[in-house]
A and B are shown apart, each in its own frame.
Chain A
Amino acid sequence: MKQYIIKRLLISILVLFGVSILLYGIAHMVPGDYVSNISSGNQNITPEMEQRMREAYGLDKGPVEGYISWLGDAIRGDFGTSFVYKEPVTSIIIKYMPATLALAGISMVLELLLAIPLGILAARRQYSFTDYTIVAIAIVGISLPSFFFAAVLKRVFAIGLGVLPISGMVTARANFTGFALFADMAKHFVLPVTVFVLTSMGSYLRYVRTNMLEVLSADYVRTARAKGLPERKVIAKHAFRNTLIPIVTLFGSMIPALFSGAVITESIFALEGLGNIALKAVYAGDIPYLMGFNMFIAALTLIGTLVSDVLYAVVDPRVRY
């Protein structure tokens, strides 16, 4: 096991290396030069000043040279200074991560908490009205773009009914502290999380349902019934543990999807998280931040995959590394 994890970690580093080359290459091709961006609206900036700024931002280096110096710094944990925020990329990531992690984390847990029981329920009642209803809702959820949902939900619950805040993370007017602050933040997260859950729960739910259907027709479930186990226990113990096996493999693939989704959701609800900032960074040509952000997610994804592989071994005794 230990050996396996070490081996996987080494491979992950190799993969990260590949990711970084790919990303840097693409990021370097971005034409939206930061300096010309910030200077173009200002009538008084002279070409000399622009040139000086370009040197200051290191934009005058070629791609290979730039990559090598970036890599050298990155290995030491220095991902450079964001052009826009004028702060080290690592500290920006640390600063804005909580919002994104909270959003993505809560959404992920809720998605699983809803998708698993509903998927199981639908499978148990295959071809029943309940089954059709659950599956229909799930599929409608994954058949509309997230921004569409967000706009409509915002219109109905925030603007129309006024029961939820329109955007932001806390109520600015109130100086909440302690639990009140927590509750206030939770309230601001209701809509973004709902959008997340609605738009991605469907695929997991279908996955759970299909797996459950398969497990329910398995011989060992019949055996469990033949032992006289109550149906509830058959499902909760024997069937569920086996559906869990494919579900944990989803874990790794959920992470990049969540962070990609965060880009949209955060920008719609004006949540200051990594995704929203990344969007701004693209528009502004903030290469250091983009590199840092994408590398961060790539690393997270690889860790997620590793965790799901380890979990795979946890839930399935047949798997040994």
Chain B
Amino acid sequence: MSALANKNQKKELKEVKKFNLRKYREYNKMMRKKRVPESEYLTKMKNPENIIEFDNLQSYFYTDVGTVKAVDGVSFDIPRGKTIGVVGESGCGKSVTSLSIMRLLQGPQGQIAGGEIRFNQQSTGRVLNLAKASIKEMEKIRGNEISMIFQEPMTTLNPVFTIGDQLCECISLHNPQMNKKDVEQRALETLKMVGIVREGILKNYPHELSGGMRQRVVIAMALACDPQLVIADEPTTALDVTIQAQILDLLRELKNKINASIMLITHDLGVVAEMADYVVVMYAGRVVEQGTADDIFHHPAHPYTIGLMKSRPMLNQKVDRLYSIPGNVPNPVNLPAHCYFKNRCESCVEACSGAYPAMISLSETHKVSCHLHREAGAAVRQAGGAKKQTGGKQNVQ
């Protein structure tokens, strides 16, 4: 019996490998293609007010044990000039979503398998599907129109180049018309903006700076070219608490100073509450709830969101024990057909064993993917007669 199972398992593994190999080959072929005709990636925004629209994004990792669907059918929008918070446990696909925008998934294992990421490029007035755009196009966008702040300031800076080298590299790359002096001037300005005013900072190596300083440099690098969208991927996780506060202050300050959208990825609900206009809650590679900060914090609808809120320590509440959601995230390789949260859910109903729940609008801005709210959603639909829904596709506004 077990031998048979073993055999089956082996056969399966073999097939996985074969499949992966095909995927890798496809990927390498795509990467090697020098020119991608514009028509393949030009598209239209659903709402020109948005800067980014995720439409059924699927980012998979083809590993030896099987395909890991890290992001599976995520759809939400980032409006221009707004801050959007993406929350969820580690491994829920937040970072993969952000890396997908930049097309920085570690290939050939990690690839965007489907869906669109529509980017409203202001400088050219075009709308690009970033999931398909040519690498050339991406290189123009990266660091220039969309920039990213990573979570580990210790390792995100190259240890063998000076701060100046790394900062100026970014500026001169996207502003070829600037001469060396201007670039340096600009670098210093940006540094000043993030609160670093120090003699000879440009000549310093990363290891000569403290963690907070380094994170400021990383932020400066992200802001150096006046991006339209800044993706901050857990910018404070790796820092001391006091430094965290400083960096958050800085981000909040910058939010007002620059005219850019911010996609803030974090598992810290407090940060989101303070900064975000909109919140997206992700679980196991899918969006389970989305809405304005007010919707999510004051009227959480999805049991998972509720759990998250409960597990937050409150200053003015006395509890014996902090709440924690029981159970574990399901195995990302073999995801069940039913709602992924079912095993951990305290308020399961009959329907939960059925198909994965569709997105349900609770209000104009508030959407949730849970069988508990089927009726409520229907009510809204009837009342508002609002937009049509297809599959799990949803818009924030």
Contacts and interface: CB of A to CB of B under 8 A. Distances in A.
Q: Do A and B bind each other?
A: yes
Given A125-B28, A217-B106, A317-B207, A228 B160 contact: no
Interface string A97-128: 00000000000000000000000000001011
A220 B207 contact: no
B358 to A, nearest CB: 34
A242 B159 contact: yes
Contact of B169 (A222, A227, A242): A227
Contact of B24 (A127, A238, A242): A127
Contacts of B364: none
B157 interface: yes
B170 A228 contact: yes
A226 B221 CA distance: 10
B185 interface: no
Contacts of B106: 217
A315 B160 contact: yes
Contacts of B135: 231
A215 to B, nearest CB: 10
Interface size class of A (residues with CB under 8 A): 20 to 34
B148 interface: yes
A228 B158 contact: no
B152 A219 contact: yes
Interface residues of B, number: 34
Contacts of B247: none
A245 B142 contact: no
Contacts of A217: 106
B255 interface: no
A225 B31 CA distance: 14
Contact of A317 (B205, B218, B221): B205
Interface string A57-76: 00000000000000000000
Given A219-B152, A317-B205, A227 B160 contact: no
A249 to B, nearest CB: 15
B156 A220 contact: yes
B155 A245 contact: no
Contact of B104 (A125, A226, A317, A318): A226
Nearest to B141: A228
28 contacts: A127-B108, A128-B28, A217-B106, A218-B155, A219-B156, A220-B157, A220-B159, A222-B156, A223-B150, A223-B158, A223-B218, A223-B221, A226-B143, A226-B150, A227-B142, A227-B173, A227-B221, A228-B174, A231-B135, A238-B158, A238-B161, A241-B158, A241-B160, A242-B159, A242-B160, A316-B160, A317-B160, A318-B207
Nearest to A125: B28
A226 B147 contact: yes
Interface in A202-244: 217-220, 222-231, 238, 241-242
B24 A318 contact: no
Contacts of B7: none
B139 interface: yes
Nearest to B174: A228
B157 A229 contact: no
A261 B147 CA distance: 52
Given A217-B106, A317-B207, A224 B221 contact: no
Contacts of B152: 219
B192 interface: no
Contacts of B174: 228
Contacts of B159: 220, 242, 316-318
Between A219, A223, A242, the greatest number of chain B beta carbons within 10 A of the residue's beta carbon is seen for: A223
Between B108, B138, B158, B170, the greatest number of chain A beta carbons within 10 A of the residue's beta carbon is seen for: B158
Given A220-B158, A316-B159, A317-B205, 14 more contacts: A127-B24, A219-B156, A222-B104, A225-B102, A226-B102, A227-B147, A227-B169, A228-B142, A228-B144, A238-B158, A241-B160, A316-B160, A317-B159, A317-B160
